[in-house]
Amino acid sequence: MANGITQAALWAAVFTPTADEIAREIVQQEWEMRQEEEKVYWIGWDREFKRGFIQDLREHKAGVNLLTFNKQPLYPHITQDMQADMIESGELKIIDLKSINTVVAVWADENREEAKDPIYQEYFSKVKDLLTTEKHRIIS
């Protein structure tokens, strides 16, 4: 009997977490929950942001064109409806350049014909530069 009590006490001493270990575990779990909540928030934010832009394109709102460079359309033949379709299909990625209050789009596939256009290449180079210096969000 005494041997059983001794073993139980030894087990408790070895495997019972300390207050510091419990506190660290609680902090870790709270951090993980906050990370998950933030992830869910941004998924919803992305979805609504994308939906709003697609809606603006489909309603043919003046000035809504994600493919412009120096205030000129990069591809005059690509309509607002076509841009909306390409965003929905994932061909175009939306980038919100928050710190300069600008929204742009880039081709998801850099090998597609439109992405090889020299004017697009210049545009894309400027977008990449902005991504290194400005606060931004790439909308999935």
Query: 83 near 66, Cβ under 8 Å?
Result: yes
Query: 92 pLDDT exceeds 60?
Result: yes
| Range 47-73 average pLDDT | 92
Query: 8 pLDDT exceeds 90?
Result: no
DSSP annotation of 79: -
Average pLDDT, the chain: 89
**β-strands 72-73, 68-69: how paired?**
antiparallel
Measured CA to CA, the distance from residue 60 to residue 73 in angstroms comes to 15
Q: Into how many domains does the chain fold?
A: 1
Measured CA to CA, the distance from residue 93 to residue 76 in angstroms comes to 19
- For residue 19, the enclosing domain spans 3-139
- Per residue in 39-57, pLDDT (tens digit) is 999 899 999 999 999 999 9
pTM as predicted: 0.74
Confidence of residue 119 (pLDDT cuts 50, 70, 90): very high
- Per residue in 15-25, pLDDT (tens digit) is 778 888 888 98
Measured CA to CA, the distance from residue 41 to residue 43 in angstroms comes to 6
